[in-house]
Structure 1
């Protein structure tokens, strides 16, 4: 039963990460279509960057602690990319350069979104697998 709850927790953490990345993409789309000014868009995105990084780090640690090595290995590239951005101080969007980097920022977040959706489907698969396995042992 504990394994099922672990997968359920992973699922909800991944949903939270997806929500953060989609919010960032919406802010960038609003900026692109001139619904919002660059300062507001950059400040909204920058407020969500650190929670995204921390949530991804917590997810990777949870995978390690619970012994799900395969999922832990799959989450390492995303975690490495976030750590690399943070150590190079490239994790925040500069208001003065936001229009020059708009396409790059959108591509970066779309790639993150695709990667998170892939992890979400794998997590969903393993959650169903563990539920069926526990149901099989009950009989």
Structure 2
């Protein structure tokens, strides 16, 4: 039962990450279609950068602590990218440059979204696998 709870926790953490990235992508799309001004868009996205980084770090830490090495290795590239952005001080969106970097920022968020969907399917697969495995041991 413990492994199932861990995979459910992984699943919900990945869903939270997906929600953060989708909201950032929606803010960029609103900016592109001129529904929101650059200052509001940049401030909304910048408020979500640190929660995204912390949530991803927590997911990677949980994978390491629980001994799920494959899932931890799958999280390493995303973690490395976030750390690299933070160390180069490129993690926040500049209000004055947001229109020049709009297509680049959207592509980054779309790539993150695709990567997180992959992680979601992996965690869902392992969650279902553990449910079926526990059902076999009960009979």
Query: Structure 2 length as normaliser, TM-score?
Result: 1.00
Q: Deviations over 1:11-60 (max 9, x none)?
A: 00000000000000000000000000000000000000000000000000
Aligned with 2:83: secondary structure?
helix
Q: Deviations over 1:87-124 (max 9, x none)?
A: 10000000000000000000000000000000000000
Count of aligned pairs between the two proteins: 139
Instruction: Please give the root-mean-square deviation of Cα atoms over the aligned residues, in Å.
Output: 0.3
Give runs of ≥4 in structure 1 deviating > 6 Å.
none
Distance between the aligned counterparts of 2:83 and 2:135, measured in 1?
40
Distance between the aligned counterparts of 2:22 and 2:92, measured in 1?
17
Partner of 1:71: 71
Partner of 1:123: 123
Q: Which runs of 5 or more residues in structure 1 are unaligned? A: none
Distance between the aligned counterparts of 2:66 and 2:116, measured in 1?
19
Partner of 1:83: 83
